[in-house]
């Protein structure tokens, strides 16, 4: 009987992808994209954090209006809002609009701050894109397609998007998923040294 062995195959990046998303010579371009998107996210979040209908005494009023408007777009042959997402809005978001209002306002502000500082840029861009996707699913186009594209590109360029930012120093210290940074390695070594040998 013939034995089949399993092989793991890694497909290499094309040179153009490495240049665009992993070469520090392109870091200046991603800095511009990052600052532009970060500024807009930050100002949106800041406005909501100082709005009575988002995080003030009337928290949830604005979001209730937004969700109610989205639920009116579920009819017709080609609805703007899918049935499954309308169900999520109606049963999960609408009963708790005050809490979701704080989450949206704080999330937008933190995404903007992360992008401007270049701190965990890939994570900030991912959550920014996720919020854009939720707005698009709710039938709101506006600037969301543009922001979603920028967020997706920043996620792809996470290795260099924060090169002219805090990521240049933070990522080597904390590491990335699957690879510990210097900080964790130092603490692991210290813990091993201090721990008394067992007999």
pLDDT along the chain (199 residues), means of 10: 68 92 96 97 97 96 96 90 96 97 97 98 97 95 93 96 96 81 69 54
User: Can you give the length of the chain in residues?
Assistant: 199
What is the pLDDT at residue 4? 55
What is the pLDDT at residue 65? 96
What is the pLDDT at residue 77? 84
What is the pLDDT at residue 198? 55
Phi, psi for residue 175 in degrees, rounded to 5: 85, -170
> Quick one: tokens of 46?
């800041």
Longest dimension (CA), the chain: 74
Return the number of other C-beta atoms located less than 10 Å from residue 174's C-beta: 14
What is the pLDDT at residue 187? 62
What is the pLDDT at residue 178? 74
What is the pLDDT at residue 176? 78
For the chain, domain boundaries? 26-163
What is the value of pTM for the model shown?
0.85
> Quick one: tokens of 98?
């005050």
């Amino acid at each position: 009987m013939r034995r089949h062995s399993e092989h793991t195959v890694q497909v290499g990046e094309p040179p153009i992808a490495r240049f665009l998303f992993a070469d520090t010579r392109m870091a200046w371009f991603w800095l511009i994209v990052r600052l532009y998107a970060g500024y807009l996210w930050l100002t949106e979040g800041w406005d909501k954090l100082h709005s009575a209908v988002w995080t003030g005494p009337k928290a949830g009023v604005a979001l209730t209006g937004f969700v109610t408007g989205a639920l009116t777009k579920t009819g017709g042959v080609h609805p703007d809002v899918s049935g499954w997402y309308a169900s999520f809005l109606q049963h999960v978001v609408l009963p708790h609009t005050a809490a979701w209002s704080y989450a949206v306002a704080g999330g937008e502000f933190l995404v903007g701050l992360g992008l401007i500082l270049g701190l965990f840029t890939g994570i900030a861009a991912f959550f920014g894109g996720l919020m854009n996707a939720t707005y698009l699913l709710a039938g709101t186009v506006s600037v969301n397609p543009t922001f979603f594209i920028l967020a997706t590109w920043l996620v792809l360029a996470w290795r260099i998007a924060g090169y002219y930012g805090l990521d240049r120093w933070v990522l080597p210290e904390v590491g990335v998923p699957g690879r510990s940074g210097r900080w964790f390695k130092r603490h692991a070594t210290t813990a091993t040294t201090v721990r008394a040998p067992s007999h």
